[in-house]
Structure 1
Amino acid sequence: MAGHDRNASEGRPPSLLARRPRLPESVEVHSSPDPIRRDWDELAERTGAAPFLQAGWIEAWHGAFGWGPLTVLAVRREGRVAGVLPVQARRGALTSPTDWQTPLFGPVVEDRDAAEQLARGLLARTGRRADLWFLPPDRPGVVECAAAAGLAGFGRIVRTITRAPYVPVEGPFEQYMGSLDRKFRKEIGRLRRRLEERGEARVVYEDGTERLDELLADGFRLEGSGWKERAGTAIRSDPAVEDFYRAIARWAVERGWLRLAFLRLDGRAIAFDFCLEHAGVFYVLKGGFETEERRLAPGTLLTRDGIERAFELGLSSYELLGQADDYKRSWTSHTRERLRFQAFPGTPAGFAEYAAWRYGRPLVKRIAASGSSSSPSP
């Protein structure tokens, strides 16, 4: 986005002359996805929208985690839907239906004109704040929202919230492996040999058309093995999270996108990845391994096989998603930036919200960080 420093947040306060834009005539407002689901799905197929922007993902997420009514803004041209933006409302704020289970968010649009119409429609319905997470900087959405906010005199804050690692699938797999750290490559080879000495090792990719519940139970057991379960962050630790991933699995099976990856040793699953494969892109949403086999690093071996498979199939990328953790950086230096966009009207509530988000919350975080860094070690 023009003027956006990707290493820091960008902020501009509301204007005293701010005027909430009118809802464009081309923008429809739906109180649920039901009336527009078919149009949404057809638009997503035409535009090649990622799974996380589609009605099935949004409905599953909102059913598990939503805390306000789900509203769908839609742009219609000559009887055909050209843009869709879902938001949820609570106490005057319009927010994206997202949390840290969400890899990506944004409008599904045919072109930037539709994104501009949706941005104006969003601001027209904003009370104290509009708040959209996980927007990509290189797709329609954040640029149009920022421009609409500027024209209306709304305050805005745009900042990077994560950088998600990915492996671009380019050239031969051997060339890719040769680009990795030599010590890391040797360690992978040693681990594979140790695994094969233990028994028959093979990786299987299940599409969920058979034994789905059984496969998910086995996979979720591995995903929660060890520290995740103890910390309460495993899928099985929260019924809402488990319900969400089961709903996503059923939805993805219907579309042929589900990939449940297992590394098996003599038939026993010792590593698992919950993945989607769509439009030449492989997404790894969740994963885990048998902690009793940690010395074999089965999660690392499963990732290695998954990347090799992406090269063999001629996919365009292998998306590790989430944060740029150290173990992911072993595989790639490439990341995809995800932004958070907030807009604040020129009202007393809008000014207060802007000040709180722009100055108050960062200050609290700095104080907390300072306090933790100066505390004695236990």
Structure 2
Amino acid sequence: MSWTLYPATQFAAHAARWAECNRRSTASPLLEPDFVHPLLREFGNGDEQLVCYERQGELLAMGIVARRRRGVWETFQPSQAPVSLWMHAPGLNLSTLLAELTRKLPGLPLMLGLTQRDPQLEPRPAPGGCLRTVDYIDTARITLAGSFEDYWNARGKNLRNNLKKQRAKLQKEGVATRMQVSRAPEEMAAAVADYGRLESAGWKAQLGTAIHPENAQGRFYTAMLEGFARRGAAAVYRYWFDNQLVAMDLCIEGDGCMIVLKTTYDETVPSSLSPTMLMREECCQQLFAEQRFARLEFYGKVMEWHTRWTDEIRTMYHVNHYRWPVLLQLHAIANQRAALRGQRPATAPAPAQSLQHGNPSTE
């Protein structure tokens, strides 16, 4: 049994094995080659390593790792990826796997980190020896069981009454609402362009993080959504007030769930209206009626508006493995001292902003 390392630039040659490893472990859409390959192409720097673990000819684990700084390696983690690019067969000892990989990586790695792990996909390992875990963020989901009426009646009165009033206001003003769902591969490029125009008119344009068809983000989402759409596993939701596009969701599907990757809305809409929430209500009605999926996943840090829609919240986590136990102890002491000084612990990266956002004044 051993680890083999390849340049991650050769991912395409190993995509079939990656897909099989995912199917036998996490089965997550976020780890499908259609997601990983464009992610590497647009956001990798060429130094990433594709790592493969085999025992008696059987592939049991795969991941993509990169050197973060001297002595520290971690999973490749662009902000566009909700979970880390790592998977291993159930029942394997993660501490043993990471210890063997640490010894195989170039140089003298002192720590190897697996970032943004999801307990929905893999139980959180118990700390001990050279391994510890660190809380990352809380994230939310909606279980799509039963009827929409039962789900909706279990929500708070404020949410239900607020959206009812908004619909009445729009109707009084003669504004027609409409939800459009695009699924075909040939529709994805135009959908990403629409999303970029909507996002570029808001606060993200000022930060330079908005999607544009010609930037890395735009190219990634277009290629990724086209790949999923070719096998019927992508959905782009547009929401309209008459002929005005006011909100959008970019989603992928698989393993019994729909994942909302990104959400944006028209910030020129009056603050008394919540286009993303109106869209979300109609989307949930449709998903409950169709019964195609077991859950709707949001990923990203739980915001106040998430708690109005669900009480299903779980904590994602990081895994840190140290070459020797004394390094874990020294790191813990350093983090305690940093906490006393009000600094962020070195083993706890800053939580990423939620990939979804809504009208902050009403949602």
Question: What TM-score bracket applies, with the shorter chain setting the length?
Answer: 0.7 to 0.9
Cα distance in structure 2, aligned partners of 1:351 and 1:283: 35
Are 1:96 and 2:75 counterparts?
A: yes
Name the structure 2 match of 1:31.
7
Q: Match for 1:303 among 270, 273, 280?
A: 280
User: Measured at CA, do residues 250 and 166 of structure 1 come closer, stay the same or move farther in structure 2, by a change above 3 Å?
Assistant: same
SS at match of 2:201: coil
Counterpart of 2:162 in structure 1: which amino acid? Answer: E
Are 1:312 and 2:289 counterparts?
A: yes
Name the structure 1 match of 2:242.
266
Cα distance in structure 2, aligned partners of 1:140 and 1:266: 44
Name the structure 1 match of 2:91.
112
User: Measured at CA, do residues 205 and 286 of structure 1 come closer, stay the same or move farther in structure 2, by a change above 3 Å?
Assistant: same
User: Measured at CA, do residues 167 and 78 of structure 1 come closer, stay the same or move farther in structure 2, by a change above 3 Å?
Assistant: same
User: Measured at CA, do residues 257 and 223 of structure 1 come closer, stay the same or move farther in structure 2, by a change above 3 Å?
Assistant: farther
Are 1:284 and 2:260 counterparts?
A: yes
Contact 2:3 2:54 in 1 (8 A): yes
Contact 2:199 2:210 in 1 (8 A): yes
Bigger proportion of residues as helix:
1
The gaps in structure 2 that reach 5 residues or longer are 346-363
Shift of 1:360: 5.2
Shift of 1:37: 1.6
Q: TM-score, normalised by structure 2?
A: 0.81
Cα distance in structure 2, aligned partners of 1:211 and 1:182: 38
Shift of 1:351: 6.9
SS at match of 1:143: coil
Shift of 1:50: 1.0
The 5 Å alignment of 1:210-225 reads: 210-225=186-201
Shift of 1:165: 1.2
Name the structure 2 match of 1:374.
none
Name the structure 1 match of 2:32.
54
Are 1:131 and 2:113 counterparts?
A: yes
The gaps in structure 1 that reach 5 residues or longer are 1-24, 369-378
Are 1:176 and 2:151 counterparts?
A: yes
Contact 1:194 1:296 in 2 (8 A): no
Cα distance in structure 2, aligned partners of 1:208 and 1:361: 50
User: Measured at CA, do residues 184 and 347 of structure 1 come closer, stay the same or move farther in structure 2, by a change above 3 Å?
Assistant: closer
Paired residues in the alignment total 336
Give identity over the alignment, percent.
Answer: 21
SS at match of 1:219: helix
Contact 2:185 2:227 in 1 (8 A): no
Shift of 1:302: 0.8
Cα distance in structure 1, aligned partners of 2:182 and 2:201: 21
Q: Match for 1:72 among 26, 50, 57?
A: 50
User: Measured at CA, do residues 359 and 63 of structure 1 come closer, stay the same or move farther in structure 2, by a change above 3 Å?
Assistant: farther
User: Measured at CA, do residues 331 and 204 of structure 1 come closer, stay the same or move farther in structure 2, by a change above 3 Å?
Assistant: same
Name the structure 2 match of 1:354.
331
